[in-house]
A and B are shown apart, each in its own frame.
Chain A
Amino acid sequence: MRDDRQIKILIGLGIAAAILLGKIFYIQVINGKYKADSISNSIVKEVIYPTRGVIYDRNGKIIVGNKVAYDIMVTPREVTAFDTLTLASVLDVDPQLIRDKMAEYRSNIKKIGFQSVAMLKQIPAETYMKFDEVKYQFPGFYGQVRSIRDYPINAGGNLLGYVSEVDAAYIKSHPEEYSIGDYVGKTGIEAAREKDLRGEKGYHIYIRNARGRIESSYKDGAEDKEASPGHDIMTTIDADLQRYGQQLMRNKLGAVVALEPSTGEILAIVSSPGIDVSMLADIGKHYEEISSNPYKPMFNRAVQAYYPPGSCFKIVNALIGLQEGVLTPSETHPCHYGYQFADDRKLGCHGHKSPIDMEESIMMSCNAYYCYVLRNILDNKKYASIDEAMDSWHKYVESFGFGKKLGSDFPSELSGSIPSAKTYNKFYGKGRWNSTTVISLSIGQGEIAVTPLHLANFCATVANRGWYKIPHLVKEFEDIEIDPKYYEKHYTMVDTTQFPKVIKGMWRAVNSAPGTGGTAWIAQVDGLDICGKTGTAQNPHGDDNSVFMCFAPMDDPKIAVAAYIEGGGFGAAYAAPIASLMVEKYLNGEIPWGPRKDLEARMKTSYLLNRVRIRRR
């Protein structure tokens, strides 16, 4: 029995040793967590932040640069008793803020150890200079240089986007790339080109002891890395034109987009109301103000707003009709204040001469004419059914870039929507609709939604006589390469030979003498040969939307502009003046004294915000 117990005790000893060794084996060999922890424990990386890349306009003007600001850092363990009031007045803050912060650090002193924490962020250089003079009175406090964004020209706003400190959610979704304290582009170009602009962080590696005090440089700095600055970006934006567009759009809801037709380069892209660049640099401070603005300045109307294109869309239908062979330029249709498509239903039109041919229909923007055109397209005998005809029309329209994301390098671009047979089958039931049901499509109303960017791209397509390059914002510059897709021509399904026919109508819309029926004579600028098309789109939220698209000069288009002003009334009321002023400014550089200058002044000062009821999104 004794021997038996001796054996049992020895077995017990063996089991106990096995338990210890088992746990040791687990933490040393199986679970890698402890090894990783030991590295973060004793090695400290001091991050060196790179300067962000500069953003230039197409002419080399800096639109976003960097300037120096200072963070006021505190090493709580080194702080001695100090005069809170003096420090507060020097730093231009409430003394209570400093007291609160110091109390917070004291309660977390164990966690902070000998590390430094940022007490105030991004104070301007002037304030820092004052602090620098009296710094010696405040041991434990020092300033750390930090580069922040600077906007020498007030051009951009939404387009440029803002940079702010990464939040926890963002770090979680990009664990390898970002950590606390990093800045990241949140919207606009800053976000789209984040990878180029941000540069690469560098670091010094130190070994620290358990109290957080730096002991030495790790491997004598052999593994340290210098920060490499971000790449500069050259945009396609013309800063002057952009700023001019913003001035014209002040106090109006809507967007203006200007493209260079031959390249697809975006010359200006204005969404109004937008965010002023002065707010961008310190977005945190203005965030509340911006997000509570009922007109949603963060909402980029140029690429995100769904608008009916209105009469501008007549050009699309004309081109499809021509291509399909159901319309010839000489074809005339009568119009007596509209188009009677059922006994009791009429699509109205304004008063103009009758009958008219195709060019005149564009020039005068006749609604009835396009009812005939659309019905001829949809009731074409070559299609077995209305469904087939409708889908064919849908394909044509899509080939102009409508109804899909164009694929620009601007983030958050939306696709708009163009109806197909499916849309109406769902809506009315198969076989329960016909060409008269969808008659609004003829004049760009109904189930069509496009963004101003789509419209500008369409205008550029017409200017190019049948092709477009995807609109984009960034140019090839230094070591920045752009996607080769931006160099590809996208042809529409309409032959290039058809385009000059409609362009003639667009030229006449602008360049006919006042009183002859041209809808856009107000956009006329001598010598520029502007071709344009007005639109007056119904707006369920208030006054009609004023729409205008144009390009110039007719024979060698340098610029295509689409302007969309919510509640602006007739296309000729606001959109046409604004778009034509943009063209004139871009091509001539100056607006001459006289009626054009007066028009400019009127556009800059008019206030249209009250024309639209505020929507709750």
Chain B
Amino acid sequence: MKGNAHERSLKQSVDWALIVSYLILVLIGWLSIYASIHSSEPPSIFNFDFRSGKQFVWILSALGLAGVIIFLVNPRLWEAFAPHLYILVAILLVAVIFLGKEVNGSKSWFEFGPVSFQPAEVSKITTSLFLASMLSRTDFSVTRFKDFLKVAAIIAIPMLVILGEKETGSALVYLGFIFVLYREGLTGWLLSIIGLVIILFITTLTASPYVSIMILIAVVTFCNAINEKHFWKMLLFLGIFLLAGSLFPWLWGLLTDHIAASVQKISDTYTVTLPGQEKKVFWAFLLKIKPIYFLIAICLGVLPRFAIKAFKEKNVFGGASVITFLVGLALIFSTEFIFNDVLKEHQRQRIEVLLGMKDDPTGVGYNVKQSMIAIGSGGFFGKGFLKGTQTAYGFIPEQSTDFIFCTIGEEWGFIGCLAVIGLYVFMIARIIIDAEECREKFTRIYGYCVAACIFMHLFINIGMTIGIMPVIGIPLPLLSYGGSSLWAFTVLIFIFIALYREEKKYY
């Protein structure tokens, strides 16, 4: 201990709001893990035989780790050793593919006796540090192509290796670093295009290719409209198109339902119903036609006209739009191909369920369905602590790790979900605001990296439990059971707190 002067400066320099929200989230996580224990006689929350007891140990050790980072480690060292740590973890990431233990079809865990450790979790920290150190160099600019390639490599290397470990979820988190690059001056177009790709990908998975194509048409037309003289006219046209396009599947559904209803069994005139006969209905062939066929037909009919027009007028933007549209279409229709060749069997199955291609309540759709049932059954106020039936009776798989949010949704209802998401949003916003205050570029960029990591985990994890994201195993920061994840996020956040404190101490 360094005496009174230090303590005072600790009080003033540490962002207590961040630490308090961290502690509340960890506490909520611990209680939720306890609540999701499936047992007829609830054990003590400290019982080490159960996950709540183990998590208690993880929490204590994480707090110890936080103390070490704040009090014992010189924050300057993080920047200095960022490249070394990055390389060390990169080696571990590759090594785990050969030496790791296989869990759920992915090899990403090292096992040392009772303790397991996932390098992918640590990689988030080292990548953030290295990215911050690279971007904060005085002669460095993301807008320069060469420099952009460097940062792209820093992000892509661990991401690809983790993809190689079949941990799609963890790999997806690295896309969040694009927000950091955007903040540091990367053109908004890249963010937009990546955003569009992700949205198309997700809507193809969760909604339908029809919706994806509608979105693609809307975006391309809108971007085109900005450069046009007839802006309002095109906007009006777009509005009408979107309205008609969204009403059409509904109307078509009504029509086909009507036809399907007339293709029904007719019963005998006697009091007994004899085995039914199919009545032949002429319009029955319409049942096989899907609304998307119309959409594609319209697209293919209209597109050449635009292409020829753009070519004649030498309109580069128009040409680019046509190409973007075609690429987008190709993306939408190649998603299936991507699933079949890029994704692992269990991931593909989960995605197939999201697509509605398989609807087997006890099969692969089980996870999402049960998770949504659990959350939905919570209602507005929830069932109350330890009163959940869905989580407690084991309907939710991995209910204390990836699906911990179900317990919150079921037992604390919408109020609880609002509070938890609100806490996360507060935490992320607070980090961003703190980061912006910093004069040290390294601290600021690192802060953004932390915010991006927490955000990506939050969105993907909760999105998966409520059916708007595919089921890709990824923990909810600070809440999910498990030492690896808790430690990683503790270190990630407390390094920022320490760096921020350093700012406050000296400036």
Contact = CB atoms under 8 A, between A and B. Distances in A.
A35 B377 contact: yes
Contact of B394 (A5, A186, A210): A210
B436 A209 contact: no
Contacts, number: 132
Contacts of B272: 186-187, 291, 298
Q: Is the interface of A mostly helix, strand, loop or mixed?
A: helix
A480 interface: no
A211 B366 CA distance: 12
A14 interface: yes
Contact of A41 (B183, B390, B413): B390
Contact of B373 (A17, A38, A291): A38
B38 interface: yes
Contacts of B134: none
Interface in A203-235: 207-211, 215-216
B183 A37 contact: no
A110 interface: yes
Q: Give the 7 A-B CB pairs with smallest separation, nearest first.
A: A34-B376, A38-B377, A27-B376, A210-B395, A210-B394, A209-B393, A110-B362
Contacts of B417: 21, 24, 28
B83 interface: no
A19 B468 contact: yes
Contacts of A23: 466-468
Contacts of A39: 377
B379 A35 contact: yes
17 contacts: A2-B436, A5-B182, A5-B183, A6-B436, A20-B421, A24-B417, A27-B375, A28-B378, A28-B380, A34-B373, A39-B377, A41-B389, A169-B265, A207-B393, A291-B272, A298-B271, A411-B271
B274 A291 contact: yes
Contacts of A27: 372, 375-376, 466-467
Contacts of B432: 6, 9-10, 13
Contacts of A216: 40
B455 interface: yes
Nearest to B462: A20
A34 B459 contact: no
B375 A21 contact: no
Q: How large is the interface on B (under 10, 10 to 19, 20 to 34, 35 or more residues)?
A: 35 or more
Contacts of A210: 370, 393-396
A9 B414 contact: no
B421 A215 contact: no
A28 B379 contact: yes
A41 B389 CA distance: 9
Interface of B: 38, 40, 179, 182-183, 265, 267, 270-274, 362-363, 370, 372-380, 389-390, 393-396, 409, 413-414, 417-418, 421-422, 424-425, 428-429, 432, 436, 455, 459, 462-463, 466-468
Contacts of A24: 375, 409, 414, 417, 462, 466
Contacts of A38: 373-374, 376-377, 389-390
B289 to A, nearest CB: 27
Contacts of B179: 9, 12
Contact of A13 (B274, B389, B428): B428
Interface string A392-419: 0000000000000000000110000000
Contacts of B424: 17
A381 B499 CA distance: 120
Interface residues of A, number: 50
Nearest to B467: A23
A215 B393 contact: yes
A16 interface: yes
B394 A28 contact: no
B67 to A, nearest CB: 29
Contacts of A33: 376
A13 B380 contact: no
B421 A28 contact: no
A299 interface: yes
B375 A16 contact: no
Contacts of A110: 362-363
Given A16-B459, A34-B373, A41-B370, 5 more contacts: A9-B432, A13-B425, A41-B390, A169-B265, A298-B272
Given A24-B417, A29-B379, A187-B272, A10 B38 contact: no
B376 A9 contact: no
Contacts of A383: none
Nearest to B182: A5
A299 B183 CA distance: 83
B442 to A, nearest CB: 16
Q: Is the interface of B mostly helix, strand, loop or mixed?
A: helix
Interface in A150-171: 167, 169
A23 B465 CA distance: 11
A19 B199 CA distance: 13
Contacts of B463: 20
B414 A13 contact: no
A25 interface: yes
A412 B393 contact: no
A291 B418 CA distance: 63
A31 interface: yes
Interface string A32-54: 01110111011000000000000
Given A29-B414, A187-B272, A41 B375 contact: no
A613 interface: no
A178 to B, nearest CB: 15
Given A13-B429, A16-B455, A215 B413 contact: no
Given A9-B182, A16-B455, A34-B375, A42 B273 contact: no
A29 B380 contact: yes
Contacts of A187: 271-272
A396 B54 CA distance: 93
Interface in A50-108: none
A191 interface: yes
Nearest to A43: B389
Given A111-B362, A216-B40, A169 B271 contact: no
Contacts of B372: 27, 34
Contacts of B459: 16, 20
Nearest to B383: A38
B40 A41 contact: no
Given A2-B183, A191-B271, A28 B413 contact: yes
A113 B363 CA distance: 12
Contacts of A412: 270-271
Contacts of B270: 298-299, 412
A13 B372 CA distance: 23
A42 B395 contact: yes
A259 B466 CA distance: 68
Contacts of B182: 5, 9
Contacts of A3: 436
Nearest to B399: A210
B389 A207 contact: yes
A37 B428 contact: no
A409 to B, nearest CB: 14
B273, B375, B393, B455 pick with most chain A CB within 10 angstroms:
B393
B421 A21 contact: yes
Contacts of B414: 24-25, 28-29
Nearest to A37: B373
A35 B372 CA distance: 10
Given A9-B432, A169-B265, A208 B379 contact: no
Nearest to A283: B272
A446 B422 CA distance: 86
Contacts of B38: 209
A14 B425 CA distance: 8
Nearest to B468: A23
B377 A37 contact: yes
B393 A167 contact: no
B148 to A, nearest CB: 17
B179, B272, B372, B418 pick with most chain A CB within 10 angstroms:
B272
A300 B370 CA distance: 52
B373, B424, B462 pick with most chain A CB within 10 angstroms:
B373
B125 to A, nearest CB: 21
